[in-house]
């Protein structure tokens, strides 16, 4: 396999989860940090969507973060993030990612930027987002991670979005009734993997 190139933006949650999977899978990777105000023409030539992440490897282009994660894990998955042999865990993973990407992300965007969505106050969007937080808290009552006894695809795919939600109002999140979710999030934020993929790089001009 030739060296892969990932067009990324450090603080984008979709790019975060892609970078985590690629690093975990030990993919030989060149990361191009993108300035969202001046997107590189070579990235736009690969993907007309104009959004990160975009992975170019072996003549193929993958421009959806979840597809990048699945591709990476197909190359190397030493700790069984895919939960092979655990059909229940795989089904739960798929359901959590779908709810995260299709529902929770919608309320996260509105909670983060309530001025763009004046139909309801900020608290309304936070309350709607809490539906997902409560589901995660309940899952963590019986184990340390969301879909299995060990860290897996579900945790890494969902965590960047929970992180963003928590950072909208850190004091509120710290006082919220989600102690297991708070520990889970902090553990992932403190992990060697997450610290490594958040190392700053200068945007490519």
Q: Is the residue at 172 inside a domain?
A: yes
Prediction pTM value? 0.96
Single residue among 78, 109, 142 that ends a domain in this structure: 78
Query: What's residue 128's pLDDT?
Result: 98
Within this chain, do residues 119 and 184 fall inside the same structural domain, yes or no? yes
Q: 95 in a domain, yes or no?
A: yes
As a whole number of angstroms, the distance between CA 47 and CA 55 comes to 10
Tokens of 105: 């992300």
Predicted pLDDT at 153: 98
The beta-carbon contacts of 162-170 under 8 Å, at least 24 apart in sequence, are 162/133, 162/136, 163/13, 163/189, 164/13, 164/108, 164/112, 165/104, 165/108, 165/111, 165/112, 165/129, 165/133, 168/111, 168/112, 168/126, 169/126
Last residue of a domain, one of 78, 105, 134: 78
167: CATH: 1.20.1050.10
pLDDT of amino acid 202 = 66
What is the count of structural domains for the chain? 2
pLDDT at 204: 54
pLDDT value, residue 31: 97
Structure confidence at residue 55 (pLDDT): 98
Q: Tell me if 201 is assigned to some domain.
A: no
The reported pLDDT for the residue numbered 2 is 80
**What is the per-residue pLDDT for 117?**
97
59 and 124 co-located in one domain: no
User: What is the spatial distance between Cα 139 and Cα 154, in angstroms, rounded to a whole number?
Assistant: 12
State the DSSP code for 100. I
Query: Pick from 78, 98, 126: which residue ends a domain?
Result: 78
Q: What is the DSSP letter of 89?
A: H
Query: What does each of the 205 residues of the chain score in pLDDT, given as a tens digit?
Result: 789 999 999 999 999 999 999 999 999 999 999 998 899 999 999 999 999 999 999 999 999 999 999 999 999 999 999 999 999 999 999 999 999 999 999 999 999 999 999 999 999 999 999 999 999 999 999 999 999 999 999 999 999 999 999 999 999 999 999 999 999 999 999 999 999 999 987 665 4
């Amino acid at each position: 396999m030739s060296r892969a190139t990932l067009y990324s933006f450090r603080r984008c949650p979709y790019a975060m989860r892609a970078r985590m999977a690629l690093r975990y899978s030990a993919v030989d990777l060149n990361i191009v940090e993108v300035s969202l105000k001046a997107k590189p023409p070579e990235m736009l030539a690969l993907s007309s969507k104009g959004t990160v992440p975009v992975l170019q490897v072996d003549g193929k282009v993958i421009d959806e973060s979840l597809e990048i994660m699945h591709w990476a894990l197909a190359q190397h998955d030493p700790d069984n993030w895919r939960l092979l042999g655990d059909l229940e865990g795989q089904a739960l993973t798929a359901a959590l990612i779908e709810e995260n990407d299709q529902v929770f992300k919608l309320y996260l965007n509105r909670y983060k930027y309530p001025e763009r969505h004046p139909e309801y106050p900020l608290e309304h969007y936070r309350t709607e987002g809490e539906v997902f937080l409560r589901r995660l808290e309940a899952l963590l009552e019986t184990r340390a991670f969301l879909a299995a006894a060990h860290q897996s695809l579900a945790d890494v795919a969902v965590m960047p979005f929970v992180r963003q939600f928590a950072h909208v109002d850190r004091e509120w999140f710290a006082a919220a009734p989600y102690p297991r979710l708070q520990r889970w999030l902090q553990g992932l934020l403190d992990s060697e993997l997450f610290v490594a993929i958040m190392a700053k790089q200068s945007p490519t001009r």
